Every structure is written in C-alpha cells, then in structure tokens.
Chains A and B, each alone.
Chain A
Amino acid sequence: MEEDNKITDKKVIETEVTMGTVHSAAIEPYRVRLFVEDEIVRDAEITVGINHRGIERIMEGLPVEKANSLTEKICGICSNSHIWNSCLVAEKAIGIEVPERAQYIRVIMEELERLHSHMLYLAHGNEVLGHETFAMRLFYIRETVMELLRIIGGNRVQYGVSIIGGIRPRCELDEMRIQKIREGLNLIEEKITEFADRFVSDPMIMSRITGVGVLTQKQAIKLGATGPTLRSTGVGIDLRSEMESYAPFDFDIITQNDGDVKSNLLVRVLEIPEAIKIIRQALDNLPEGKITNRSWEMVDAPITKSYIEVPRGTLYHSYALEDGRVRNSIIRTPSIANIGAMQYATIGHHITDAQLAIVQCDPCFTCTDRAIQIIKI
C-alpha cells in the first residue's frame, strides 16, 4: 500500500520545473515536467512526440524489401534489432526457412549490438553521475565493438545484415573475420572486467547510486516495464530464452533485486559477459552451408506479429502483405513501455536525482516517437 500512496499523495504543488524540449540535460529532444515541493519531486510528466517522423505511415505501401531497410533507420543504436524483427515478420508470413548459419550470424550481430548499446548506456550513466573518466574509458572499450561491426557490416552504425531469407552475402563470416571477432572479444572481456571491478569497489559511486530512483517490483509490473529495467527489480523475464534463434545457446538471465540506479547499472554490466559468452558459443559451433534461402515466392498474408528481445526490452513489429507491399505496419519499441517506469522512478527523490532516475531506464526517444499518433487540435 505504501507504493500506492507515493503516487497519489498530491498535496499543494509549489513549483514546476520544466526541462525541454531542447535542453542541455536531455540530449534527445523530450519534455519533462517535475512538480517539486521542498526540492523533492512529487510528480513527473514526460512528453514525447517531438521526433515524430511518421515511419509507419511511410512504410505503408512500400515493397517489403524497401520497408525492411527503412525500419533500420528507426534507431541508430539498435538498428540490427529492427531489421531483424522486420525480416522475421516477413519470413513468418511467407513461410521461409532461414538457413542455420544465417541464424547464427544474426545472433552474433545482435549480441555485438547489445555490447555496444550497454556500453553506451553505462558511459552515459557515468557522465550523468559526473564521472567523466569512466565515461571516456567505456567509450574507448566501445570502439572495439564498433570496429567489429564495421568489419562485418561495412558501416559503423547501420549495417543492414539481415534480408528476407537470411543475411547479405557481404556479411558472411570468413576465417579472417572470425579471428578478428575472437581477438576483439578477448580485449573487451579483459577491459570490461577491469572496469566492473573498479566500478563496484568505488565507494563514492556506490554511495551516489544506491537507493536512488527506486522502482519496486510491484510497480514495475504494474507500469509494464520491460527489458533490463524490469530485470533490475528481480523479475527474470528475458524473451531470448523463448526465441527459436537462441535455442542452441546457453546463457544466464541476469537479475538484481533493488530496482534502483545501482541495480540497473549492474544488470547491464553483468549482461556484457553473457553476450560475450553467446558470441563465443556461436563462433565455436558455426554451422557450414548456405547463408541465404532464395527459393521463396511472395504471397499475400494477413497481419503477422513478431516479438524479439533487444538491448532495451521487448520489440514488436507487425504488418500484413498485399502484392508484395506492406500494409498496416505497427511498431512498438521498448522505451515506450518504460516511460511509466521513468516517471515513477523520479517521484520521492531529490530534484538533482531526477535526470539520473530517467537515464537509468535507458530511454531512446528516437525509437519511441514513431510509435505514437499526433492528434492535430
């Protein structure tokens, strides 16, 4: 009952502090209204919609191959997740079998992406904490992953690995690339272990982040939080354990129990070695054979759905196919599910912790903003 009181306990609201839409504290454009009483945040309101580009509208009526490439431009951080899920929808709708080797390479790309996304999150978190040295160190470690992504995909940010029925021929993993990935992983593992030891044993940082931005398990479930934000409250839900592509791999689901900034940061820190473990297993057991299945014909299909686990949580894509064109596309990204959690995490804490409490949920407002409808008044 205590948690419920926390949200409904609105006495006289004295001050409103507004940040955004373009603000130095918020790198991406979004708007936060904090209702403050004696420097304690009593209520918060996050407004999104500033980045609306209407991607779902643009996808309507496009040929499915072109629409898949467009989904990659939704987000510059988890671009591979979007194109992978979009291809999965088409494969499910048409009934295409993907070669096993292609599935392994898709998993390798996804886990590399998880590495760079989590490192970016940790770097940004440390920057907000005021610890620039750790932030720079994480940017330095992240460069190794970016280089690996460039070697495989040909571009540092949007690499377009998946196509319908497999992966692009230029992203085939030969011996040289496998060797480079192994060397890169060894380096990342060494550096990230060193970072994690120093991070956990730093009393200054630990005292700053413990007990800040607390999200209880009950509230996280109620607000529909997803991904590492949910796992930081002790709920061990990870869609990877149910995905067909991840069936051959052995990995642990990381959970923490406190739901504060410390738990959120530690979930990401501990997921990095798990991702490295999955990539190593995939490289060791990489099956031989084709990487693309080209023997399929386009058919009309009703609305087909697909869910996958991406670095920030559960990603949903769905569309129908009509004459090889996309109809009724819907995309739901994890950040929109976490907005409630972000708002709740700021309540009851000092106003200086508000930004940290929002950043701990790993917001990506670029992803979020194509998923909403702007009503003209």
Chain B
Amino acid sequence: MSLKSYSRARAVHVMLVYTGGCNGCDIEIVNCIFSPKYDAEQYKVFLTWNPREADVLVVTGPVTKHNEKPLIEIYNAIPEPKAVIAAGACALMGGVYKNIHGDIPSEEIMGPVENIIPVDAKIPGCAVRPEDVLSGVVAALPLLLDAK
C-alpha cells in the first residue's frame, strides 16, 4: 500500500453536491455524517465543501438545467482517484420530476446524473436512509484505495 492510499484510507472526504432535489436526501446525508446517532466521522468519513480536498462526490437531485455546468466543473476539480455516488431516486433516474408524463421527459431536467458524469455507486431510496448512505460510501472505497 502506497503512502497516499494509506493516508486516504484514514481520511475519506465526502463532498455533497445538491442539484435541485427536494432537500430530503440532502439532509439525510448531512445527518448521516454529522449526527451523533449515525456518526460516519467515527469511520473517518468527513464532510467537506471543497472539491480540491474531496475524494468522494455524492450527488443528489435530478440535475436541473442550471446545475449541469457547475456539476461538471466540480467533477473536474476533484483530484484523481475519485468516486462518484448518486444518491436518491432523482439522481438515479430523474425521480418524479423527469418522466411523470409517460415517455415525454421534462425540459427542465437534464439528469439523471449518469447522463452528465460517470457514476460508480448508486444509493436507491426516496429519501435515502442514512444506513444506505454509509453502505454506499463503503462500496465506493475500493476504487479509491486500490488506485495506484
């Protein structure tokens, strides 16, 4: 194990990007990392708002038109190796906002997240449960740790 991956395994920084969902997944993810009940910080998972120090990008929401460009910029700003997690029904397939009228997609929604940036792990649920967020972050860890 290289020195980089050794240190990375001891401080995984998660960045949360919110792209126009309903706030539900957003708060559940902050809750999962921040609140003393779930407390992901005890597993050395930290929440950050700076893309330059992030390892894992968690995206919630169906990616509205105005959020597409900032999302790509944030993705490019995160240094390699990186992992992207799509959390919640909106991020996975556009949720209730995209395909509500059958096959006619909404013009306002550019998502799901897969259309815009590559996604490594997916967390289902509306809204996601904090337990699922933890297992999603753990599922993305090998991508970071095995990287040369």
Interfacial residues, chain A to chain B (CB-CB below 8 A):
21-22, 24-25, 27-29, 49-55, 58, 62, 70, 73-77, 79, 120, 135-137, 139-140, 142-143, 155-158, 364, 366, 369
Contacts and interface: CB of A to CB of B under 8 A. Distances in A.
Given A25-B49, A27-B18, 16 more contacts: A21-B70, A22-B18, A24-B49, A28-B23, A28-B26, A51-B20, A52-B20, A52-B64, A55-B97, A70-B96, A75-B22, A77-B23, A139-B36, A142-B31, A155-B127, A157-B24
B15 to A, nearest CB: 9
B64 A53 contact: yes
B57 to A, nearest CB: 12
Contacts of A75: 22-23
Contacts of B70: 21-22, 29
Contacts of A157: 24-25, 27-28, 126-127
Nearest to B126: A158
Contacts, number: 117
A139 B34 contact: yes
Which 5 residue pairs of A and B lie closest in terms of their CB atoms, listed nearest first?
Answer: A76-B24, A24-B49, A139-B35, A76-B23, A157-B127
A76 B22 contact: yes
Main secondary structure of the interface of A (DSSP, over half): loop
Nearest to A27: B18
Given A76-B127, A139-B34, A157-B28, A52 B108 contact: yes
A229 to B, nearest CB: 19
Contacts of B106: 53-54, 58
Contacts of B30: 27
Nearest to A24: B49
What bracket does the count of chain B residues touching chain A fall in?
Answer: 35 or more
A79 B65 CA distance: 24
B116 interface: no
Given A22-B70, A53-B62, A62 B100 contact: yes
Contact of B27 (A51, A76, A369): A76
A55 B96 CA distance: 10
A73 B18 contact: no
A22 B19 CA distance: 9
B44 interface: no
A77 B21 CA distance: 12
A366 B96 contact: no
Contact of A74 (B22, B26, B37): B22
Nearest to B73: A22
Interface in B70-102: 70, 74, 95-97, 100-101
A138 B69 CA distance: 35
A28 B30 CA distance: 12
A63 to B, nearest CB: 12
B108 A53 contact: yes
Contacts of A55: 97
Contact of A53 (B20, B28, B36): B20
A343 B131 CA distance: 38
A22 B109 CA distance: 17
A29 B19 contact: yes
A155 B88 CA distance: 14
Among A24, A155, A366, chain B packs the most CB atoms within 10 A around the CB of: A366
Given A52-B64, A73-B22, A76-B26, A139 B31 contact: yes
B75 to A, nearest CB: 12
Given A53-B64, A58-B97, A157-B28, A143 B17 contact: no
23 contacts: A27-B18, A27-B26, A28-B26, A29-B70, A50-B67, A52-B20, A53-B64, A53-B108, A54-B108, A58-B106, A73-B97, A76-B22, A76-B25, A77-B27, A120-B27, A136-B34, A136-B36, A139-B36, A139-B37, A140-B37, A143-B31, A157-B24, A158-B126
Nearest to B22: A76
Among B22, B67, B108, chain A packs the most CB atoms within 10 A around the CB of: B22
A49 B67 CA distance: 10
Contact of B22 (A136, A139, A366): A366
Contact of B17 (A22, A50, A120, A140): A22
Among A24, A51, A52, A142, chain B packs the most CB atoms within 10 A around the CB of: A51
A125 B77 CA distance: 29
A70 B100 CA distance: 10
B23 A140 contact: no
A324 B19 CA distance: 33
